Amino acid sequence: MNTYLNKTYIIFDRELKGYFRTPLASIFLLVFLSLSSGMTFFLGRFFERDQADLTAFFSWHPWLFLILMPAIGMRLWAEERRSGTIELLITLPVTNTQLVIGKFMASWIFTLIALILSTPIWITVNYLGDPDNNVIFVSYIGSWLMAGAFLALTSCLSTLTKNQVIAFIISSISGFILIMAGFSLILSAVRSWAPVWITETIGSMSFLSHFSRIQMGVFDLSSLIFFLSMIILCLWINIQLVQIKKAD
């Protein structure tokens, strides 16, 4: 067991350090923090609302992650395929599961670092008022879980192409579909021709609907299961795709 975890950690460590060997990490962190702050205090009309909460901060996360998570995850496998290093990776004495999980966890922990760096906004809200910190804490957890679902989806899709731009585009489109799945306009269009169970299934796939419940402080079991199941499913498909590549 220790050997299994050690090999996974080696992959994780390699990938995480890879982010900081290039300007990518600094650029992403700067963009995320700048956009988060700007959308919170200006577009979110934080001061005009005169409420001590971070609703304006978290409400933008699904839309930020729609772009930023594919930007992080598009290189996980597409770059390996483009440079030819994927052939080296799959010949290493590690399993496909160790490769996929190690790479994914590196991107997910990198996202966690970005979220932690945004906590001065949380501190500012506490300085200005008396917010419900339990709701804010739960919202941070929900945001990280949603980011993980976006990243797992991107990791899976990036295995299909050598081009990072293509990986970014198809991941963003897929993420957009999963966000829009819960909108009443979409559900009404589906309801007009599909059985009720199909409409309900599509609605239950919405990232936005699940995160909105978490953002209100309702961290119900269904939302937790949904995001974790999405991560596990995408990573399982990712493992199968790597196996197919290994068999080629």
**Close Cβ partners of 223 (under 8 Å, ≥ 6 residues apart):** 142, 210, 211, 213, 214
Question: Minimal CA–CA distance to 214: which of 227, 202, 231?
Answer: 227
Question: Which residue has tokens 């962190």?
Answer: 29
Query: What is the per-residue pLDDT across 12-66, written as a single tens digit (0 to 9) for each?
Result: 888 888 888 878 788 888 988 888 888 877 776 666 666 767 888 888 899 999 9
What is the per-residue pLDDT for 248?
Answer: 62
* Stated pTM of the model: 0.87
The predicted pLDDT at position 205 comes to 79
Model confidence at 87: pLDDT above 90: no
Full residue range of the structural domain in which residue 239 is found: 2-247
Q: Which two tokens stand for residue 220?
A: 């119900």
Structure tokens at 94: 């590690």
Average of pLDDT values for 100-118?
92
- 55 CB-contact burial (10 Å; exposed 0-12 / middle 13-18 / buried 19+): middle
What whole-number distance in Å separates Cα of residue 120 and Cα of residue 237? 37
Could you give the CA distance from residue 144 to residue 227 in angstroms, rounded to a whole number? 10
Three-state DSSP state, 183: coil
Structure letter (DSSP) for residue 41: I
92, 101 Cβ separation under 8 angstroms: no
Q: How many domains, in total, are found in the chain?
A: 1
Mean pLDDT across the chain: 83
